[in-house]
Amino acid sequence: MQKRKLGNSGLEVSEIGLGCMGMSFSYGQPKDRQEMIALMRAAVEKGVTFFDTAEVYGPHTNEDLVGEALEPFRGKVVIATKFGFDLDPAGGAKWRGLNSRPDHIKRVAEASLKRLRVDAIDLFYQHRVDPDVPIEDVAGAVKDLIQQGKVKHFGLSEAGVQTIRRAHAVQTVTALQSEYSLWWRRPEEGTLAVLEELGIGLVPYSPLGKGFLTGAMTDKTQFGSDDFRRTIPRFQPEALKANQALVDLLREIAARKKASPAQIALAWLLAQKPWIVPIPGTTKLHRLDENIGAMVVDLTLDDLRDIETAASKIKVQGERYTEALEKMTGL
């Protein structure tokens, strides 16, 4: 598998990573533990070296799952995790809000190290910008952890350009994780330029639009009560129906390139910048193979121009999050 470096940091990872959240959080009931461990280990065998999790996924259960699955490959894979939520000490999947106080960050790091079964966290993201804690304090706390050898690289998630600049001035930011795909292109409005200027990599989450860009959904798709897409405006029937135009475009290009819509969506991302590394999530081996296959899809300048021209005429319907969730971003 091809490798990419996340900006100027020197952190080298597989060209496509694996988002692990859906294995135990957000998209219905947690999947069978042994099957997910087997899936992650198969991903390593296929060349994937970049795995993404977070304290809040579960909470804690996803980190624990990833830790067990990847323990045999310690030192051969890069595991990214995140801090920044105030979890309910009573347990359960609820959180009480954001919390990026330095003392809290350091406690989360210690707990994540144990769950991930590693000596140092490869990439430690602030999950969401905390308006109550100066980003300089956050960066300073992670800098301390890096100096102590407990963290190797610092990252931000869903942060605005000024936050990125301020954090980077205190501690080098290796990567920004933000949603980016053909149906959410906000990073193009200034963020990509700043990342390029500062030498920071971009890790797009939901590069397949939370499954929509695979072409597997229609306006008749039903989401379970424990699937958080059920509450998102963009996944309501009328929006799903209106947004099929984007999937139709991907299908058209896919037929020309003998690929799948998902592969075209991922190949488009890879073609944007050489320091972009998407992390599509999956719980199925055939989808893992499909996603990895995107790396061999060669989109020419003409292909990219055709996609851009057609996509510019499509107005994606529906907000990407509920209002409450959107307020948690720093954009």
Kindly list the catalytic residues: 57
| Dihedral Cα 274, 169, 188, 85, nearest 10 deg | 100
C-alpha distance from residue 67 to each of 13, 116, 183, 268, 280 (Å): 18, 4, 32, 31, 19
Residue given tokens 């475009």 in the structure block: 249
Task: Please tell me whether the peptide bond between 59 and the residue prior to it is cis, using omega within 30 degrees of 0.
Answer: yes
For residue 138, what is the enclosing H or E element? helix 135-147
Closest by CA to 167, choosing from 156, 183, 178, is: 156
Q: Contact, 209 vs 287, CB < 8 A?
A: no
Closest CA to 216 of 229, 225, 226, 204: 229
Q: How many whole angstroms separate alpha carbon 330 and alpha carbon 158?
A: 6
Beta carbons of 74 and 118 less than 8 angstroms apart: yes
- Cα–Cα distance for residue pair 173/157, rounded to 1 Å: 11
Determine the Cα–Cα distance for residues 78 and 279; give it in Å rounded to an integer: 12
Pick from 175, 156, 253, 221: nearest CA to 13 = 175
Distance CA 52, CA 56 (A): 12
CA atoms within 13 A on the CB side of 58: 20
Distances (CA, A) of 56 to 61, 83, 279: 9, 8, 18
Contact 70, 43 (CB under 8 A): no
